[in-house]
Amino acid sequence: MKIKNIKIWSADLGNTKPYTIAFKTVDEVWNAFVEITLDNGITGIGAANPSEYVTGESFEQCTEALQEKNIQFLVGRDIRELNQLTFEVWQKLPKNPAARAALDIALYDAFTKHLDVPLVKYLGQKIKSLPTSNTIGIKDVAETLKEAKEYGDRGFTILKVKLGKDLEEDIERMVKLRETFGKKFVIRIDANQGYDSAQTIEFYNRTKALDIELIEQPLKAKAIEETRQLPAEIRKVIAADESLLSPQNALELVKPPLATGIFNIKLMKCGGVSQAIKIADIAQHAGVDLFWGCNDESIVSITAALHVAFASSNTKYIDLDGSLDLAKDEVTGGFILKDGVMYCSDKPGLGVERI
């Protein structure tokens, strides 16, 4: 069961909902792909879309890390050495979590296809299905309400709303969402490091009656001690995102008192399935809930994240909408989405096929 060859390529998957950041319209969604072929013809596929803002890894650095000279060590190796192979990937590409994730996902896909079981079954399935949130960016009230209605019409029941630029506007958007839609939606918010401690407390107190489910990364990524000093009832509903890039970060966050009651795990931040499992285990032992997120990603890596999420008993939330607005993809299959609820398929590996 040896690895015969590895193919690497990049593709712009496009965006059916271009968005603007810093006066720039984003309508390109570049993903890097890895396809591992075994000597018996079995293939495994992985994908990556790094977030340079979060991890410091640009797309160019990701594809550079995936050049043949850096991954040739895997060719000729036995796929049944999965744990050793993923360890060596982690060792050789320490500064490229998304590149590692692409290789890591492809290795897990090939290995579980060899076993003829879905990845989630190999890992140990704890959860059958969960509703995913769909994300609304930083917009004015009218645009927020318009997009919320669109998601509701498509069957989604959970919104994740990006905030953090202006506290008063942020609160107004929350109030108007509840006034307009009542309890139709569960609402989560992502402040993207936009608040200080006082603003976080003010936002929490002024929106408490609006039943906000969780608050993602309100303080700066490095502000762990400041986060620990927030009232316990607020820390319980805070999800660490940019603060959580690795198992080492997880160990820091769970030191008493718990900095946050929720961990947001993204394969592109931590380096794939193998590292996500380590973070999930730390969270479970510390009594921290899990919230699985993503970037603008191919079905490949979104599906991988879903399989790991459903193998973790403390998974409570998923925000795996990153492939839903892509104009195209390199694969079909993968996760199943029905009325905003996600399921894993029963096909071997990730259950995806090249187009």
- Please check whether residues 138 and 111 belong to one and the same domain: no
Which residues, 6 or more positions from 125, have their beta carbon under 8 angstroms from its beta carbon? 310, 311, 344
What is the sign, positive or negative, of the torsion defined by CA atoms of 154, 311, 112, 266?
A: positive
- Please check whether residues 57 and 75 belong to one and the same domain: yes
Tell me the sheet residues that pair with 337: 342
Residue 191, pLDDT > 60, answer yes
Name the residue type at position 116: D
User: Cβ atoms within 10 A of the Cβ of 320, count?
Assistant: 23
pLDDT at 23: 55
- Please check whether residues 108 and 125 belong to one and the same domain: no
- Please check whether residues 334 and 235 belong to one and the same domain: yes
Residue 19, pLDDT > 80, answer no
* Separation CA 88–CA 100 (nearest Å): 10
**DSSP helix/strand/coil, 311:** coil
- Please check whether residues 191 and 298 belong to one and the same domain: yes
Of 72, 99, 116, the position where a domain reaches its end is: 116
Of 62, 86, 116, the position where a domain reaches its end is: 116
- Please check whether residues 224 and 151 belong to one and the same domain: yes
* Separation CA 24–CA 13 (nearest Å): 18
pLDDT at 27: 82
Identify the CA nearest to 137 among candidates 162, 159, 157, 160: 162
pLDDT at 56: 98
The answer to whether residues 352 and 329 touch, using CB atoms and an 8 Å cutoff, is: no
- Please check whether residues 103 and 173 belong to one and the same domain: no
Q: Give me 288's structure tokens.
A: 């921290």
pTM of the entire predicted model: 0.97
- Please check whether residues 104 and 218 belong to one and the same domain: no
- Please check whether residues 202 and 101 belong to one and the same domain: no
| CA atoms within a 13 Å half-sphere pointing along the CA-CB vector of 214 | 27
Domain CATH code at residue 86:
3.30.390.10
Query: In the chain, what is the straight-line distance between the N-terminal and C-terminal CA atoms, in Å?
Result: 25
The answer to whether residues 258 and 286 touch, using CB atoms and an 8 Å cutoff, is: yes
- Please check whether residues 162 and 111 belong to one and the same domain: no
Segment 105-112 mean pLDDT: 99
pLDDT at 18: 75
Residue 25, pLDDT > 80, answer no
Structural domains in the chain (count): 2
Query: Domain span at residue 172?
Result: 121-354
pLDDT at 24: 56
DSSP conformation class of 204: H
Residue 255, pLDDT > 70, answer yes
pLDDT tens for residues 274-300?
Answer: 999 999 999 999 999 999 999 999 999
DSSP conformation class of 132: B
Of 100, 116, 132, the position where a domain reaches its end is: 116
